[in-house]
C-alpha cells in the first residue's frame, strides 16, 4: 500500500473558506490534517500557525499550507521556527520556484488577493515540484541560524 504525502493546513478567519476548498481539492491524493481555524469568526493566526509549523518541523507532516488575508502574518509566524522555510506565493511560478530553488516546506497564500483557481494552481505546482538541489543546496543550508 502506497503512503500518501501528509499535508498540514492552517488559516485564520480570512483564509477559512479557501482552506476548506483547497483541502477538499486534494483530499483524494494526499493525507490532510486541519490545524484550524474552524470558522470565519475572527481569530489570532499564531494560535494555528505555531502548532502546524512544529508538526512540519518535526517531520509529522511533509508540507504545511497556511492561508490568511495577505499571507504575510502566517508566513512571518511560520518562519520563526528553525526548520521551516515558508514562502508567500501569489502566482504558480512563485510556488514552483519556492520548491525548486528554496526547498520551501510551507506554502503561504493570500486569500484576499488571489482567486480560488489561482490558489489551486499554486498548491498543485508546490506539491508536485521537487527541490532542484545543486547550487541551491548550500544556500538553503545557510537559511537556518547557526
Q: Which residues are catalytic?
A: 68, 101
Angle between helix axes 116-128 and 92-100 (nearest 10 degrees) is 20
Read out DSSP for 51-120? HHHHHHHTTSSSEEEEEESSSHHHHHHHTTSTT--EEE-SSHHHHHHHHHTT---EEEEETTTS-HHHHH
Residue 83 φ/ψ, nearest 5 degrees: -90, 5
Amino acid at each position: 500500500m502506497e503512503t500518501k504525502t501528509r499535508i498540514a493546513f492552517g488559516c485564520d478567519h480570512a483564509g477559512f473558506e479557501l482552506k476548506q476548498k483547497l483541502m477538499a481539492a486534494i483530499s483524494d491524493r494526499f493525507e490532510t490534517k486541519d490545524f484550524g481555524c474552524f470558522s470565519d469568526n475572527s481569530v489570532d493566526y499564531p494560535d494555528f500557525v505555531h502548532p502546524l509549523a512544529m508538526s512540519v518541523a518535526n517531520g509529522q507532516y511533509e508540507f504545511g499550507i497556511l492561508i490568511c488575508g495577505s499571507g504575510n502574518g502566517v508566513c512571518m509566524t511560520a518562519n520563526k521556527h528553525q526548520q521551516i522555510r515558508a514562502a508567500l506565493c501569489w502566482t504558480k511560478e512563485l510556488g514552483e520556484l519556492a520548491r525548486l530553488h528554496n526547498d520551501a516546506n510551507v506554502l503561504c497564500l493570500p486569500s484576499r488577493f488571489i482567486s480560488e483557481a489561482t490558489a489551486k494552481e499554486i498548491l498543485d505546482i508546490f506539491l508536485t515540484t521537487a527541490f532542484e538541489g545543486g547550487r541551491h543546496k548550500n544556500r538553503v543550508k545557510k537559511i537556518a541560524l547557526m
